[in-house]
């Protein structure tokens, strides 16, 4: 008897643009250093994104370990800049 399909992920469906949006967030943090989410949204031009896209991309970036939230409320890249 075949195995049942896996349960749906709690993460939700990722569309093909979320990886690009996550990369924009990561690049902005690498270039500009830790930012408060509102400042980061301005840096990446999130006002031109569809509603909710920035928050979704930021949440995925945190979940995937691309960025992390600090105790002071800022967001920073999880990978150090190599020089």
**Structural domains of the chain, with CATH:** 18-77 (1.10.10)
CA 59/CA 9 separation, integer angstroms: 15
Catalogue the E-assigned strands of the chain. 67-69, 75-77
pTM confidence score: 0.77
Tens-place pLDDT, residues 3-55:
666 555 554 556 778 999 999 999 999 999 999 999 999 999 999 999 999 99
CA 74/CA 24 separation, integer angstroms: 17
Residue 77: strand pairing partners: 67
- With contact defined as beta carbons under 8 Å apart, do 78 and 36 qualify? no
Question: Which pLDDT does position 14 carry in this prediction?
Answer: 65
- With contact defined as beta carbons under 8 Å apart, do 53 and 61 qualify? no
């Amino acid at each position: 008897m075949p195995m049942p399909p896996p349960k749906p992920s709690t993460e939700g469906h990722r569309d093909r643009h979320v990886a690009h949006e996550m990369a924009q967030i990561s690049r902005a943090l690498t270039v500009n250093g830790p930012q408060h989410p509102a400042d980061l949204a301005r840096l990446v031009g999130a006002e031109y994104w569809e509603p909710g896209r920035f928050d979704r991309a930021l949440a995925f970036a945190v979940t995937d370990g691309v960025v992390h939230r600090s105790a002071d409320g800022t967001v920073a890249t999880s990978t150090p800049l190599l020089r």
